[in-house]
Amino acid sequence: MIVMGGMIGVGIFANPSEVAHRVHAPFLILGVWFLGGLFAMCGAFIWAELAARFPGAVGGQYVYLRQAYHPAIAFVYGWGLLLVTQTGGMAAVAVIFASYFRVLTGLGWNQSAIAAAVLLLLSGINCLGARAGSNAQSVLMVLKIGAIAALVTAGLAAGSYARPSAPLPEQPISFGLLKDIGSAMVPIAFAYGGWQTATFVAGEIRHAQRDLARALLLGVSGVVLIYLAVNAACLRALGPAGLNATDTPASEVMRLALGERGAQWLALGIALSALGFLSQSMLTAPRVYYAMARDGLFFASIGKLSRQTGAPAVAIALQAMAAIVIACSGTYGEILNFEVTVDFIFFALTAASLFVVRKHGAAASVSAPLYQVPGHPFSTITFVVACAGIVASAIVASPVKSSIALGILLAGLPAYFLWSQFGRVKEVVDKQ
């Protein structure tokens, strides 16, 4: 549930149209979503081995980067997580939830106040500990899957009532088509991202070496099937031209199948999906800031656990406050456009860290055999190259926004050296 909750947000309700804007033929639309699913599965295999090698690693991906390269690389990852990828995404999703909450309830409350309230509520739940947070996540994930199942059922049933649309121009096989496919992979990569956040809570899982690897593979597999089903339903109901003509495909499908009442039910589904994503973010990402503090690279209070619940309550509160500031300011919504560039740079680095980890013989100190990536090194190299291609596609599609994202990321390097000079960096790599 944690793996799937980190992947399925509100994007799946809009991204089918984003892909249809770039590639038009049904087999291409479903094909690139399938290709994205293979990419996600490849990543899940890699993260599963890393999780098995470091079963007690609080902070997951942060620890993998620190162990393989240098604390500076891990710090910059956490820096980007706090300032760009995690809190910015949370703020935007909280605002989306607030807008749908107002539609569903008819209340005229301030949107920023609703967003702040839901962030505080979910933070409070997760401060009660990993068990309370995971239980809330499981409930929200089940409700979210139910909403998506209703969308798929409505789309398949509405296929015979679809209105004909003007045919789209054909896309002959050429360099231009390859460029279009690369462009389509950007929103798909964003939609499939998020499996890595489950590794942040590895230190709080009883049998992490076994269960986290299984959760990664089962969770990603489930999301691939869900995404393919949603796109098949949208294509059946709207057709490729109709899918291309709208920016709200899920609403169009539900309206076609069930009228305005169906669109209202979908609003509820999107609100639940937003809550599920926010709950997962509150549960997982603060463990990275906690790990940074334990390394001497952040405020010491961030590295303290609650005596009552064992949760990094201060880290959770810090993330909530950052997300609330962004949500209330209304100036950071476009940070979402930067996420693919930043995220996939670290996806590539983390996958490449497997070569370093294997070379140095890093292994979990347990008797069970380690999980290993099938097809390594070829599958791992393919994943790294694919990440580089997605980053390049994102930069070509939006050079200004990508440059800003990279600038924010690189600003983390002087921040690290300042912190390490005035703070006390623990020699955790040597000790471990």
Task: Supply 313's token pair.
Answer: 């309550």
- What pLDDT score does 428 carry? 43
Query: The CATH number of the domain where 9 resides is what?
Result: 1.20.1740.10
Domain that holds residue 71: 2-426
Please check whether residue 166 lies inside any domain of the structure: yes
- What pLDDT score does 206 carry? 74
Task: Supply 246's token pair.
Answer: 């709208």
- What pLDDT score does 75 carry? 92
Q: Please report the DSSP string for 154-192 in residue order.
A: HHHHGGGGPPP-PPPPP--SSHHHHHHHHHHHHHHHHHH
What is the rounded CA–CA span in Å between residue 336 and residue 404? Answer: 12
- Nearest to 283, CA basis, from 143, 145, 137, 141: 137
- Are residues 82 and 289 in contact, defined by beta-carbon separation less than 8 angstroms? yes
Please check whether residue 137 lies inside any domain of the structure: yes
The residues of the chain scoring below 50 in pLDDT are 161, 164, 331-333, 362-369, 425-432
- Nearest to 329, CA basis, from 140, 127, 168, 116: 116
What is the rounded CA–CA span in Å between residue 263 and residue 23? Answer: 26
Please check whether residue 431 lies inside any domain of the structure: no
Nearest 5°: CA angle at 23, between 243 and 189?
95
Please check whether residue 335 lies inside any domain of the structure: yes
Please check whether residue 432 lies inside any domain of the structure: no
Enter the pTM of the model: 0.75
Please check whether residue 118 lies inside any domain of the structure: yes
- What pLDDT score does 167 carry? 52
Number of domains in the chain: 1
- What pLDDT score does 408 carry? 86
Please check whether residue 126 lies inside any domain of the structure: yes
